[in-house]
Chain A
Amino acid sequence: MTDLPPRSRGVIALLEENCTSCMLCARECPDWCIFIDSHKETVEPPGGGRSRQVNVLDRFAIDFALCMYCGICVEVCPFDALFWSPEYAYAAGDVAELTHERDQLREWLGSVPPPPELDPTGPVPAEVDRARSQRAPG
């Protein structure tokens, strides 16, 4: 339809594998529209070693009726589990349908654009600089 700018804020997608249920997005959301339920599970690492506890996500829901698309949740996530997607056409006949649960948030991942290219005239990131100087010393 329309040619949307690359950083358009249409809907938020969740990459569940990155989420550790740290609750930062739910706490920082100004509208209180992110609902997270989780529990702890003990996991044995495959190569031996002591068992550890991980947080397992039970429920991750965003109420898009309340959401004001500020992006604080996407910015604050320390594990990059939330992404912006430019999809906007998800009007519904019932307000409850605007609360998207985990599976629907995962579906939106398909429409998340790749990250924008770095500015060629901008400063070189420290990691790239280090890698270049290591490869060609002196």
Chain B
Amino acid sequence: MGHYPQCVATRFPAGRFTLWVLDVGLACCAVEVVAASLRASAEPVEGRPADVLVVAGTLTDTMAPAIARLYAELPEPKHVISFGACADCGGPYWDSYCVTKGVDQLIPVDVYVPGCPPRPEALLDGLQTLASRIDAGVLAG
């Protein structure tokens, strides 16, 4: 995975696809993503590049360049799921002096999962939505 050898992609079943998910856990939503990986019996595997970047948690202005760089270094085809209100649009912290109002201000997002935090099952539903959009030809890959 380039400069991030310690990043571990997790294998999630999603319909007829198997998606390799890299979780960028920035705040509380990260706990729900971990719970989702346990419920889906997902397996972490080192060294496998990710198909899907799940941004879970509040994106602050200080952290923004790191996320942009991480996205740029992912190999194609790549997809992004924005998980939780903060990643969707700033969430309850939309009025803060140093919160980016949504990760889509920086990188293109394919699926938005609402919730504060969303249930772990909502992530699995988000992955299903992503898989069906790929299937429908709306997204590449």
Contacts and interface: CB of A to CB of B under 8 A. Distances in A.
Direct contact of A and B (CB under 8 A): yes
A88 B115 contact: yes
What's the dominant secondary structure at chain A's contact region?
A: loop
B85 A66 contact: yes
A68 interface: yes
A6 B118 CA distance: 17
Contacts of B90: 66
Interface string A1-42: 110000000100000000000000000001100000000000
A124 interface: no
Contacts of A68: 85, 91-92, 116
B126 interface: yes
A30 B92 contact: yes
A88 B112 CA distance: 13
B110 to A, nearest CB: 7
A127 interface: no
Nearest to A69: B116
Interface string A71-94: 000000000000000001111111
Q: What is the interface residue range for chain A against chain B?
A: 20 to 34
Interface in A97-121: 97-98
B138 interface: yes
Contact of A66 (B89, B111, B118, B122): B89
A113 to B, nearest CB: 16
A54 interface: no
A5 B115 CA distance: 17
B113 interface: yes
Interface of A: 1-2, 10, 30-31, 63-69, 88-95, 97-98
Interface of B: 85, 88-92, 94, 102, 104, 109-116, 118-119, 121-122, 125-126, 129, 133, 138
13 contacts: A1-B121, A64-B114, A65-B88, A66-B85, A66-B89, A68-B85, A68-B91, A69-B115, A88-B125, A89-B125, A91-B113, A93-B138, A98-B88
